[in-house]
Amino acid sequence: MKAEQDSPLNETQRSLVEKKFEILQRASFGFTQDRLLHIQEEDLKSWTDQCVKELRRKIAAAGPAHMKTTLIDFPQLRCASLQCRPQPIQADGARSENGFGPAIGSGPYA
């Protein structure tokens, strides 16, 4: 498992992550609405923890700054849940880091 997480994605996996990224981006209107991403049976053999990590990275880089985005992988259910929440604005106008759950890259699924 550790070797899988440390290895770079192969061409099939990169293509799969890109396809899932585009689906989520369109379906969630630019990472602003919650969505469930199903991993089809034919994709399961290529979909790894490293793919999930790369998809999280891509979403974090592309998502709007005013949104807090979480991607939770449910491998047994063959799906991932994209959760998008506006970040609360503090009195000084800065965005709060609290209040809407962990951002991508943090928490038990990072």
Q: Answer yes or no: are the C-beta atoms of 108 and 74 closer than 8 Å.
A: no
Question: Is residue 37, in this structure, part of any structural domain at all?
Answer: yes
Counting the structural domains of the chain, the total is 1
Round the average pLDDT of the chain to a whole number and report it. 83
Which has the higher per-residue pLDDT, 50 or 96?
50
Give the whole-number percent of the chain exceeding pLDDT 90: 70
pLDDT score for 90: 65
The two three-digit tokens of residue 8, written as one number: 């770079």
Which has the higher per-residue pLDDT, 106 or 41?
41
Domain of residue 44: give its range: 2-86
pLDDT over 50 at 110, yes or no: no
Question: Is residue 18, in this structure, part of any structural domain at all?
Answer: yes
How far apart (Å, rounded) are the C-alpha atoms in residues 81 and 18? 17
How far apart (Å, rounded) are the C-alpha atoms in residues 30 and 24? 8
The mean pLDDT value for 87-106 works out to 53
Question: Is residue 49, in this structure, part of any structural domain at all?
Answer: yes
Question: Is residue 91, in this structure, part of any structural domain at all?
Answer: no
The model's pTM: 0.74
Question: Is residue 61, in this structure, part of any structural domain at all?
Answer: yes
